[in-house]
Structure formats: structure tokens, C-alpha cells
Structure 1
Amino acid sequence: MYWKCFVLAVLVTYDGAVAEFSTEDCASLGFIKANLLCSSCDQLKDFSLEQLVDHCKECCHSDESASKEKKYARAILEVCTCKFPAYPQIQAFVKSDRPAKFPNLQIKYVRGLDPIIKLLDKDGIVKDTVAIEKWNTDSVEEFLNTHLDKEHDDEPDFLKTNRI
């Protein structure tokens, strides 16, 4: 009798202790956690990929929360210029005028690194890292538009407001 209660308690504890996968865990499984909606996981069955559904569900965001995407105060796009030939779309983004649209985006050149975006909170602590080597310029811009806070100046621009 006692061992049955113990086994039941262990199972309940285990079931409640399972946490969702980290960004790194999801990346190693081939999922981009920041962009994955749970409705996409359900579509895996249509392609005979049922074995991936459980892992996908550990990495996804519910579709209801998709409208309130998590916003970050700053982002750092890290890339190596020596790898630009391998990532022409990332090179095109970096060398274009698109980064200027994001005053809270910093481009950092790190030797030997495949392109990534680090997302930081207002205290400058890295909260998420996203690999972007397969992205095109439009995907990078859309991601930054979705996940970066719009910077607001504390002081109003008097030339724009026409006030003295």
C-alpha cells in the first residue's frame, strides 16, 4: 500500500517537474523557439513527422500569445565578416540601411562566428539567442520589428512637435 502511494507521488512530481526546453535545446532539435507556434507542431502530422510533435510542443508558443510577442529592449547581431560569402543575405542586411531603422540594434563583429541575434532586456542581460544563418534580409528585419521595443525619447523633439 505504501509503495503505491510513493510511486504515485513520484509520478505526479515528475509530471509537474517537466519544464519546456531552453532555446539551445530547441535549436539543437532544429526548432527556432522564438518563432515557433504550437499550431505549426500540429501540422507535422500532415508530413508523417509524428515523432517530432512532442519535442516541437516543448519549444512552441501558444497561438494566443503570438499576438503579444515578447519584446526586448536591445539586440546584438553578431557576425563574422570572413563568413559573409557563406551568408550573403546577412551581409546584405548588415551593409544596407536597414540596421539604421533599429537604434537599439548593435552589430558586433566576432571572428569565426555564424550569424546570431542576441536579445537583451533593459538591464543588458541576454535573455534569448537566435541563430539566423538561414534567414534572408526581410526575415531579419521582420524579426527585429516583431521582437524589439520601439525606442522612445524621454525628451520630445521640439522641431517635430512645434512647441517651445
Structure 2
Amino acid sequence: MVSSKSIALIIALVTVTSVKSEFSTEDCASLGFIKANLLCSSCDQLKDFTLDDLISHCKECCHHDESDPKEKKYARAVLEVCTCKFPAYPQIQAFVTGDKPGKFPNLQIKYVRGLDPIIKLFDKDGIVKDTVAIEKWNTDSVEEFLNTHLVKEQDDDRHYLKTNQI
């Protein structure tokens, strides 16, 4: 028979384990938080709206403002969207069909049947590090996000080759 002390110890260990672990992007999305964009200072503002119960979950999904002043950067991104859903997402359609994707050489547009618009962010090894749902974003939000989180491709020192071609 298991004693009540054992049960309490197990509950305490599970609680400590869950507090120490950081939530995944999917966990945060299910809680209503966009992990890639959430700063911890925003979590502190939940008190102003008497949403104290959400603060601990928010803190598991946020990026620290002071200790991590640099935004997380990714080597490339893939914006996945279905053209059949363009009428539901006119701002995403405007971004995809406009000239803005051309400003991001490390952005790929991928058409996936039936998919709501998302951006997948990859590291330099091609591994998906984050996925962000963007269905409520406007064109400026998408552009700002990509400017903030995509590594700017550096001009090679070999650019002189282009001007000296025969």
C-alpha cells in the first residue's frame, strides 16, 4: 500500500520537474502563447489584467529581456500556406504574392494543401527549431518578424567576381 507521504513526494517531484523544464513551441501554442515572440516582460503585465494564473505558464514560454538582449536568429524560414485558404487570409496572400518575399533570400514559400499559414524556422543544419502560426498577422507583422528572426545573408568578399565577369 502506498502511503500519503509517498504520493505527496511523487506529486512534488512531478511539479518540480515540470517547473524546471521549458515548454515546447507546441505546448506554448496550446496554452495560447507564441513562444518565438513572447518576452518575459509581457508575462509580468498579466497581473494588470488579473490573469495571475497564467503567469507561471507564460514564464515557461517567454524569452528573457535583460539576460538575452539579442533576438533568436534562424538560418532560414519556410512560410507554408494553402492557396485555397487565401480568401480567409488576405494579408498573408498579399505578403506571399507581393514583392516582400524577395527581400528575404533565406525564405522559401511552400504551398501545402489545406494548411493554415505557418512559418517554420530552421537552424544552419536544416533542423526545424520553431514553428509559428501566422494566420492573424498582417503583411507588416510577417515582414517585421522575418527581419527580426532571420539571419541576414552576408555579402561574400567574392562579390567583385560579379562585377569583373567577362
Cross-structure match for 2:30: 28
Cross-structure match for 1:75: 77
Distance (whole Å) between structure 1 residues aligned to residue 163 and residue 65 of structure 2: 39
Structure 1 unaligned regions, length at least 5:
none
Which piece of structure 1 moves more, 68-77 or 145-154? 145-154
Change beyond 3 A, Cα 1:84–1:136: same
CA offset at residue 49 of structure 1?
1.2
Distance (whole Å) between structure 1 residues aligned to residue 69 and residue 99 of structure 2: 28
- What amino acid does structure 2 have at the position aligned with 1:103? P
- What amino acid does structure 2 have at the position aligned with 1:34? A
The alignment status of 1:96 with 2:66, answered yes or no, reads: no
SS at match of 2:158: coil
Distance (whole Å) between structure 2 residues aligned to residue 116 and residue 9 of structure 1: 39
TM-score scaled to structure 1, two decimals? 0.86
Cross-structure match for 1:62: 64
Structure 2 unaligned regions, length at least 5:
none
Distance (whole Å) between structure 2 residues aligned to residue 93 and residue 9 of structure 1: 50
The alignment status of 1:150 with 2:152, answered yes or no, reads: yes
SS at match of 2:124: coil
Percent identity between the aligned chains? 80
The alignment status of 1:39 with 2:30, answered yes or no, reads: no
Distance (whole Å) between structure 1 residues aligned to residue 130 and residue 61 of structure 2: 13
Cross-structure match for 2:130: 128
Please tell me the root mean square deviation across aligned C-alpha atoms, in Å.
2.6
- What amino acid does structure 1 have at the position aligned with 2:24? S
Change beyond 3 A, Cα 1:50–1:97: same
SS at match of 1:133: coil
CA offset at residue 158 of structure 1?
1.4
- What amino acid does structure 1 have at the position aligned with 2:154? H
Distance (whole Å) between structure 2 residues aligned to residue 137 and residue 30 of structure 1: 21
CA offset at residue 154 of structure 1?
3.7
TM-score scaled to structure 2, two decimals? 0.85
- What amino acid does structure 1 have at the position aligned with 2:36? A
